[in-house]
Amino acid sequence: MPTQRHTAHLVSVGNLRIGRGQPPVVIAGPDVIESETHALSHAERLKAITDRVGLPFIFKCSYDKANRTSLDSYRGPGLKKGLAILAKVKAQLHVPVLSDVHCRAEIESAAEVLDVIQVPAFLCRQTDFVVAVAKTRKVVHLKKGQFLAPWDMAHVVEKVRRAGNEQIMITERGTTFGYNNLVSDLRSLPILRRLGYPVIYDGTHSVQLPGGQGTSSGGQREFVPGLVRAAMAMGCDGVFLEVHEQPDKAPCDGPNMLPLAELETLLTDVKTIAALIQTRTP
């Protein structure tokens, strides 16, 4: 297991500060860009909710989901159109934006728009890719692979650090447990925190059932609120949530997405639990 680093780094995303002693950040949005109108509408409502609750917000949405179960699954509008939509969200609503990047050829273009570049869980062991993302000097959002122990992420973090980038966030998103199933071992959150960087809990991908519907992934969204509350109690620096106004009509990942109407209540609990934990933690 990793040893405790001496410094707990704070990550800066624009004017936001993420890490120990800061309010938990909310990284939220639909799984994939469906249209410009859809993305702007969700981002606007998410910003209003997080403003009311009083939590910092980063809008997340994918311009291309290159890791779909089926060749026929919806992937998004693609690099050029998708980044243009995210740039519009950023400019109109003055919120930071995050998306996942799946190949080295897209990193430079993505870095021109994105405030945070996400390394997908399946790619977190791809050294050249991780180093190339790190060299953009953008905040690097590392998704822990479903196939890794939490302490294995020390090697992934070190690749980013040696590339000269200390702007790192690490996200727990569940661990493969047999076929078509993930489980959340919440012990991983304090273990990952020992690496010295902000740790985020992905409450929606953690209830995904990969490939569980044959040609697409299933999910158990009813467990999202309980797991998120438990993760905050275990100690983490923010939550990653895929939300949608009508998850059952979403083109992908609908079964594990949280309905937008349920978000404010959950985030109110997140803020309350975080405040309590911070008063108990030296």
For the chain, what are the domain ranges?
11-280
User: Of 3, 73, 70, 61, which is closest to residue 37 (Cα–Cα)?
Assistant: 61
Can you give the pLDDT at residue 5?
55
**Which fold does the domain 11-280 belong to in CATH?**
TIM Barrel (3.20.20)
Question: Would you say residue 215 has pLDDT above 90?
Answer: no
Quick one: average pLDDT of 125-137?
98
CB 65 within 8 A of CB 121: no
Residue 21 in tokens: 């002693």
For the segment 217-276, what is each residue's pLDDT rounded down to a tens digit? 777 889 999 999 999 999 999 999 999 999 999 898 888 999 999 999 999 999 999 999
Can you give the pLDDT at residue 22?
96
Q: Residue 1: pLDDT band by 50, 70, 90 thresholds?
A: low
CA distances from residue 129 to 92, 109, 122, 153 in whole angstroms, order as listed: 31, 15, 12, 15
Question: Would you say residue 130 has pLDDT above 80?
Answer: yes
Q: Residue 39: pLDDT band by 50, 70, 90 thresholds?
A: very high
Question: Would you say residue 213 has pLDDT above 80?
Answer: no
Can you give the pLDDT at residue 219?
76
As a whole number, the mean pLDDT across the chain is 93
User: Of 32, 23, 1, which is closest to residue 251 (Cα–Cα)?
Assistant: 32
H/E stretch holding 87 reads helix 79-93
Cα maximum dimension of the chain? 51
Q: Residue 6: pLDDT band by 50, 70, 90 thresholds?
A: very low
DSSP codes, 229-275: HHHHHH--SEEEEEEESSGGG-SSSGGGPEEGGGHHHHHHHHHHHHH
Question: Would you say residue 150 has pLDDT above 90?
Answer: yes
User: Of 175, 122, 129, 113, which is closest to residue 149 (Cα–Cα)?
Assistant: 175
- Tokens 């009083």, residue located: 54
Pairwise CA distance, residues 40 & 29, whole Å: 10
- Residues with Cβ within 8 Å of 261's Cβ and at least 6 positions away in sequence, in order, are 245
Can you give the pLDDT at residue 173?
94
Question: Would you say residue 3 has pLDDT above 80?
Answer: no
Question: Would you say residue 158 has pLDDT above 90?
Answer: yes
Alpha-carbon torsion, ordered 224, 230, 231, 236, to 10 deg: 140
For the segment 176-188, what is each residue's pLDDT rounded down to a tens digit? 998 989 999 999 9
